[in-house]
Structure 1
Amino acid sequence: MDLKQLRAVITVAEVGGVTRAAELLHLVQPAVTRQIRGLERELGVTLFERTRQGMRPTEAGTKLIERARRALTELDRARAEIQPAPGEITGIVTVGLLESSADLLAERLVAALAHDHPGIELRVLTGYSSYLQQWLDDGDVDVSLLYDLAAAPPLNARPLVREKLWVVAPPSAGLRPDEPVPFAEVARHPLVMPAAGSGLRALVDAAAAKAGERLDITVQTNSMRLQKLFVLGGHGWTVLPGIGIAADVRDGTLTASPLRDPEVWRALVLGTSRAARSSPAVTAVATLLTTQVHATVHEGRWPSALTADTPPASRR
């Protein structure tokens, strides 16, 4: 098993065919085919199924590809870290952003990194907190924003922000940011909800129990974008963090109000693995991400959010 074989397997899986993979690898097609077949003979398994839609990894192929990606990423990272320019921080860092925060933070982080540490190659993944935490556990992400980490002892967690959840509705509902809506009123409407098992859904379910209300859920989704799309389509109201709907409220696409009776808060933390040694590049990205989060709050671009260092008396 060599690196050329691993790169061939990964590339074929990504593009779904040998011809396109050969173009990307700057090889002739028979060479790529030989690399894959050689690896299959060595391992004694079939790595791909040949279908009308292209090359599809088998179960064995999928397992190999997952680990091969990590191995090649680590080799690329090592190469970048041991060959830096004098005084320059270099390396590859994969950062995880909650989907709700990506629009506001991703470009700012990239711009700040390009200015302060141009030698760092940044890779950005987005998702719900449960996915990001799993990727962090598996080593696919180096540093990530996460929702609360009380139940995740293998991770280091630095508190960053507390924010309220908001009820979100079409423009015709006329919700206002300065007029919080009782949870009982929310429960009287059909609801579009985050998928069961997500941190956001757990908060909404806990608030419903506290208010003694049953929810009329019309559809569940693991996509914040789809939550908002379904609301616009008239399928119900939804509940989202303020950061996820700030732009929509400003341009009048949606209306929203903070929840009350009860208020619902979520805590965001910066998570890193306890098991992995943080490289200078990971430390630099974590520092910049923290700075951008705090700046976004202080600039008033993150609705009803408070930094973790805000005095308790100011949290109302």
Structure 2
Amino acid sequence: MNSKQLQYFLITVQKGSIAAAARELDIAQPAISQQLANLEREMGAPLFARSFKGVALTTAGEVFANHARRLVEDINTAKADLQRLVENQAGTVRVGMLPSIGNVLSMPLIAEVNQWHPKLKLEISTGPSYSVRGWLETRQIDIAITYEQDIVMGSMKCEPLIEEYMHLVVGANDHSEIYQALKHRECIEFWELSQFELLSPTNKEALGMLIEKYEKSTGVALRHNKAYSGQLMTGLRQVMQGEGLMILPSSAIFHLEESGLVNAIKIVAPEMKRHVLIATNNSDSLSDATIRMKRIIRKVTAQEQALDHWRGEMTEGAAATAPLMTPAQEGRMISR
């Protein structure tokens, strides 16, 4: 039994004759007769009483007709549900992130989407933390990847992503006395940072707020006298030219480390770290495409953490570690 036989059966019942059903379906009459005969053989009972006037349902046909209508309705409902699932998964998802996060996530995230999720379209915007927050509040983006310092409680729904370690970043310049003094260090205590000129953002940005928080909690005042544009790439050029040092996560500088252009020294005593979060607008319902993109972000973050590009600890718990499902698996979950 198949959906075509069910369709032919119900149209024949509705029209009262095989000839009329053939005209309705624009199919040759013998083709319908053959399919109905096959159906009756499979059911093991005659479904129609045939006469020169047309056809009428037998008692067995009446019973089968009720089941056939429900089966066709279930098939149509299943098709509609799957179509909605496909349409939702095929949407555009707009993701906003800070430049330091974009440095580690953008390229592998794009590659993952292009290779394994061709129905999704990813749009990435990068900017300072206050801009990312504003984009989410005004619905210019669907997902923000940002820091705990820049969360607006009540208007954002947040999920932890990774707790990243902060490092003192030093330009690898053999003629620099600071580099020579620090080149073999793997870690540095927070109070020691006060000995160096730092390139730091203002406390309007999430990183500036984090540095200020640690200054207050430790009682150690750092030196922020060096002119800094606030642009990450410009600041890193200054660091490589020996014009100051920066406090950054490994996500911002791993590529420069691999090229031997900078050294990153982990900050300890206290260990300096911060939480990276996935945020969505609390007043919006999430599309299946957005939900799927959040899972993809988690997967790519875990991959970059395993490669030591993003040093820190992945968030534990079912929400953070749930495996990425295939579209077919997601369809089964939705149908439950």
Per the TM superposition, whether the score is higher than 0.5 is: yes
1:157 aligns with 2:158: yes
The structural deviation recorded for 1:159 is: 0.6
Q: What is residue 138 of structure 1 aligned with on the other side?
A: 138
User: Given that residues 177 and 258 in structure 1 are in contact (C-alpha distance below 8 angstroms), is that contact kept between their aligned partners in structure 2?
Assistant: no
Q: What is residue 81 of structure 1 aligned with on the other side?
A: none
% identity of equivalent residues: 22
The structural deviation recorded for 1:259 is: 0.8
Pairs aligned (count): 226
Q: Which has the higher strand share?
A: 1
Question: Within 5 A, what are the aligned runs for 1:71-110?
Answer: 87=86, 89-110=89-110
In 2, the alpha carbon distance for the partners of 1:106 and 1:188 equals 35
What stretches of structure 2 of length at least 5 have no aligned partner? 1-82, 174-178, 318-336
Question: Within 5 A, what are the aligned runs for 1:162-311?
Answer: 162-172=163-173, 173-174=179-180, 175=182, 179-217=186-224, 218-303=226-311, 305-309=312-316
- TM-score of the aligned structures, taking structure 2 as reference length: 0.62
User: Given that residues 167 and 240 in structure 1 are in contact (C-alpha distance below 8 angstroms), is that contact kept between their aligned partners in structure 2?
Assistant: yes
In 2, the alpha carbon distance for the partners of 1:110 and 1:182 equals 37
User: SS of 2:140's equivalent?
Assistant: coil
User: SS of 1:125's equivalent?
Assistant: strand
Q: Which has the higher helix share?
A: 2
In 2, the alpha carbon distance for the partners of 1:99 and 1:204 equals 18
The structural deviation recorded for 1:87 is: 3.8
In 2, the alpha carbon distance for the partners of 1:142 and 1:134 equals 12
Aligned-residue CA RMSD (Å): 2.2
In 2, the alpha carbon distance for the partners of 1:300 and 1:214 equals 30
Q: What is residue 18 of structure 1 aligned with on the other side?
A: none
Q: What is residue 40 of structure 1 aligned with on the other side?
A: none
In 1, the alpha carbon distance for the partners of 2:141 and 2:164 equals 24
In 1, the alpha carbon distance for the partners of 2:212 and 2:137 equals 26
Amino acid at match of 1:215: L
The structural deviation recorded for 1:309 is: 0.7
In 2, the alpha carbon distance for the partners of 1:99 and 1:140 equals 17
User: Given that residues 249 and 310 in structure 2 are in contact (C-alpha distance below 8 angstroms), is that contact kept between their aligned partners in structure 1?
Assistant: no
User: Given that residues 161 and 306 in structure 1 are in contact (C-alpha distance below 8 angstroms), is that contact kept between their aligned partners in structure 2?
Assistant: yes
The structure whose Rg is larger is: 2
